[in-house]
Amino acid sequence: MPMTKSAEDPQGAIALKLDLMSSPKSAKKLQNKDSSFLNGNTSESPDLEKTKSITGFQTLVHLVKGNMGTGILGLPLAMKNAGILMGPLSLLVMGCIACHCMHILVRCAQRFCHRLNKPFMDYGDTVMHGLEASPSAWLRNHAHWGRHMVSFLLIITQMGFCCVYIVFLADNLKQVVEAINGTTNNCHYNETVVPTPTMDSRLYMLSFLPVLVLLVFIRNLRVLSIFSMFANISMLVSLVIITQYIAQGIPDPSKLPLVASWKTYPLFFGTAIFSFESIGVVLPLENKMKDARRFPAILSLGMSIIIALYISIGTLGYLRFGDDIKASITLNLPNCWLYQSVNLLYILGVLCTYSLQFYVPAELIVPFVLSNVSKRWELPLDLSIRLAMVCLTCILAILIPRLDLVLSLVGSMSGSSLALIIPPLLEITTYYSEGMSPLTIAKDALISILGFVGFVAGTYVALDDLMKSGDALSFSNSTAFIQ
């Protein structure tokens, strides 16, 4: 389905498919209209055929753009949890493994498209057909649960991203408000300015709730695509300004540990996999390419650029701020108008992106609930469900108002499953009956085991830290300035 194909990338893949879909008049009507996608019959849509072909360069741009979200801003703190040597090396290894898993998913999807004579297959379809091809009779009989599992993980992931966005919005707006009275035009000699204390971050979260409700009530995808374009521009400008700042005045790194405590390493894993969670974008990109045979090379090139960018931002940010690094590097920026404008730009960008990320779980849940409801109750119930869902994300954000732990928890729980655990197992179920070398099986098993260990350890450490924080939370991501 369109929302599944495009939105499994939590960093912006939703925008990739917005131009392929017309505005839904109701969730139920949207579900009926897009039923051809569920069967892989993309050729039945004339609008899709008109916009299907994109060049290799456009594919590369979409792939890189799909990874530029809030996750990259948390990588400097992730480096602190791993160490100045272990962090970049681990990020390189995880990026290579994530890229390899993307190639596995593409190969398996292509295999079933050729075998079943279908033009396209999404993540859920590929997992379902992979289970149908497995040697286990039990897996074949329960293959449909593969699609349900991917949809469930997708909902958890996207709702988790929405919670991350709310925490991010509140913390960055809190910093801007606290610093507004002392903000100057001098960005180089302003380290002694002390921000004015303001209200709790959780109150800022509640203040965003009415705006978020209005945004999620927008069900027209063409309108949402405008928000997507604005979000991409604002985030790009912000990232450029951040990069030029952290590359200046790096202190002596000799005091930073090469390898951090292993107790904090699971938090690094969760944050890193949160950033690399873009496996869902590869199948819609490959389907839209003019020459799909070039896609594996473009995928490798794009992931190489992303890995290099992630390592650079994460390492430079940690080198620049050391132990004072916060959960989002935007919270470490100086108290001057140039860098406070970065916070405002990212706030606007994330605010616009929230509705796009929210669209995915909404269009998975709402049509299911409305399937047996009379037409007169469709719109009121649709809006009520959306209201309840956005309130749920706000409540969860209030209960877990630590951005670093939310990033790690979401990445560990659902990101590791979609990006590391499922693809290697999918390769085994797809090709085992045709003969696989023991080395390939061992490799796939090792990747899945590593993903599962990261899933368990990252989730445990994040939850443990959340329970220890209790009611008297010390906000590791709250605003503070070096005096």
Within-domain flag for 198 = yes
Spans in the chain with pLDDT lower than 70:
1-52, 66, 181-198, 221-222, 225, 277-278, 280, 469-483
Answer yes or no: is 303 within a domain: yes
What range defines the domain where residue 53 resides? 2-469
Question: Where would I find the H helices in 371-421?
Answer: 378-399, 403-410, 416
pLDDT at 131: 92
pTM (two decimals): 0.75
Does some domain include residue 478? no
Q: What pLDDT is attached to residue 186?
A: 61
| Kind and range of the H or E run holding 163 | helix 144-179
Q: Is residue 481, in this structure, part of any structural domain at all? A: no
Query: According to the model, what pLDDT value does residue 308 have?
Result: 92
What pLDDT was estimated at residue 66? 66
172 in Cβ contact with 347 (< 8 Å): yes
Task: Say which CATH number the domain at 202 has.
Answer: 1.20.1740.10
Specify the residue for token string 């055929």.
49
Q: Distance (Å, rounded) from C-alpha 103 to C-alpha 91?
A: 18
Q: Does 268 map to a domain?
A: yes
pLDDT digit string (tens) for 401-436? Answer: 777 777 788 888 888 888 899 999 999 999 988 888
| Residue 370 placed within a domain | yes
What is the largest distance, in Å, between two alpha-carbon atoms of the chain?
Answer: 70
- Token pair belonging to 180: 């507004």
State the amino acid at position 264 in one-letter form.
T
Beta carbons within 8 Å of 129's beta carbon, 6+ residues apart = 112, 116, 121, 143
* Inter-residue contact 76 to 250 (CB < 8 Å): no
Those residues whose C-beta lies under 8 Å from the C-beta of residue 453, and which sit 6 or more positions away, are: none
d(CA 135, CA 430): 9
Per-residue model confidence (pLDDT) at position 88: 95
How high is the pLDDT of residue 195?
58
Name the domain count of the chain. Answer: 1
**Does any domain span residue 382?**
yes
Residue 364 has what DSSP assignment?
H
Flag whether 184 is in a domain: yes
